[in-house]
Structure 1
Amino acid sequence: MVAVIDTVAQVGFTEDEVNEMVANGVGFIYVITNKINGKKYIGQAKDYRKRRREHRNDLKGKRHHNKHLQRAWDKYGENSFTFEVIAVVRCSMLDDAEIHYIAHFNSFEQGYNRTTGGDGARGYKHTKESKAKLRQANQGENNPNTLLTDEQREIVYRDTQHTDVYWAEKFGVKRKAVNQVRLGKSGTHVTKRINNEEGFFHSAHLARLEAKEAGVNRSAPKPVAQIDAITGKIIRVWESAYEADCEGCFHNAPISRCCNDKQKTHKGYRWQFYNGEESFYTGEAFVNRTAPKPVAQIDVISGKVMRVWESANKAHREGFNKVAISKCCNGKRKTHGGYRWQFHTQEETAG
């Protein structure tokens, strides 16, 4: 028997309600329903708006990962399908919730779901055709795990100018195959010979040996701090980026990019690896550039402000184009829809 899921809202939500819930960082269970035959597809998402957009774009582009749903879309047409949020749950319960609702609507046996839900491919069965393709793709030169030759191992181990990806593409192997050589874990008969005869160690190999000698577990999870983008105050310290992904409706990859200075913010917060000190964060506070900016709709003739919109996105929902509005506000376009547009400040309202 499937356990009851702890939902926090009723079935069916308005667009504004969904927007508010996305901002508050919760997970969604949604359903795509074929109005003609009643068949359903159940899915999960941390950002429902983004996931719905991806489904629509893939279905319209005839490249959706679910061939059964794609064929039905092509047969019945876009207007025969509805998208709806049916439950809001804690992110840590998304897998269980998806399993529950797939079973509840029987969308695995009599719908478009190809698995029984959750994180993975439980219940999925490869067709004979797909099995044959997989076998062919992993034979001989097509095998992505093809090993490097001793000559190639020596080249990648000695090289200090190019990335793992560069050599992986050049030699037609996976990046991991190159990385394992550089770490001294693969092709050891080659790397040890270079170490012993020339005293040369690749930097990745040397770092691994030094960490091992110091008793440092390089694969251990690193705590990450979730930081308020405006004040620089620590909101919460997570055991790892993965924990924030599972429990907090954030995403592992962008958190990692923030911590490695490749991205500024994720979901309105700054992120850094945490060193155990409350005052470790020394970065300057900055304005969250992703926050909505009010825009003023201005009469071209009189220059009078006709209306102040909460954001360009709000005006977009009322028939204007947010991209065109943004171009006007940034001086790349003069008018849109017969009006001038500019960012609106509180000082202008007070004046």
Structure 2
Amino acid sequence: MEKKVGYIYKIANKINSKVYIGKTYHTIENRFKQHINSSKRNKCKTQPLYLAINKYGIENFIVEEIGKYEEGLLEEMEIEFIAKYNSYHNGYNATLGGEGVKTFSYSDKEVIEKYKELEYIHKTAEYFNCCRNTICSILKRNSIRIKHAHYFNYSDEEVIEKYAELKYLKKTAEYFDCCKDTIREVLKRSNIKTDYRLKYTEKEIIVKYKELKFVNKTAKYFECCEKTIRDILNKNGIDTNISKPKRVVKLDKNTLKILEFYDSISDAARKLGNINKSSHISQVCKGKRKTAYGYK
């Protein structure tokens, strides 16, 4: 059965640069519309993202695609990007990410104290009614040693064999009912990389990246995740911070109703009939103008 493919996206506040990281198995445009609609409902208005949308106005937010991944890896990458952008502690994410993770309202100090008392990841997760990855992430960022040996009784061979079958850390951890870091440590002991096992040399990847210019296109070419490509490029001193076109949303300036999505500022200008109109559109996206050519 073919795996579902979804997207990781970022919603950024143009005024304070705070972001929200999300995932969707539908189009990013539709998911963004859902966020806008949810921000208008009373029961949702206490969510950090929706509080910010109502405070600053939807015209001060932009949405863009970060990456495209298969089911399983998508959930892992959401967790990684939330950590990378620090959007749980200094942004608009209400959870640490991942499928089925509920809003987590406890402090790191509370979690660490309870873990030291209970000594087990799974008992601490049960106490706080959350997934084990949430507890692992909190302990890891506070440099707290995770006592894997207290509850993990499988051999390295069993783990390696199952990982080779399932391909993903998350799925392997779920199979063994443990934290992803446990699986990662076992694989590391046997020098097994936890990304796709590339059949290509770093030189081939670098050459192809210089040809294609974009990390996502290079990852698609080699059929691996973007993080694998980015790590190889960064290790070889190659800057991957090449900005890609940001999607543009056209809003009715009075009702703020979404009228149309564009792939980039230049695409929006072309659709309006003149590529030279891009400068004013760009200024609106940067918050330097309120409207351009009758729209927000």
Instruction: Give TM-score scaled by structure 1 length.
Output: 0.28
Query: Whose helix proportion is higher, 1 or 2?
Result: 2
Question: RCO greater where, 1 or 2, for CA within 8 Å and sep 6 or more?
Answer: 2
- For the pair shown, the structure with the greater C-alpha radius of gyration is 1
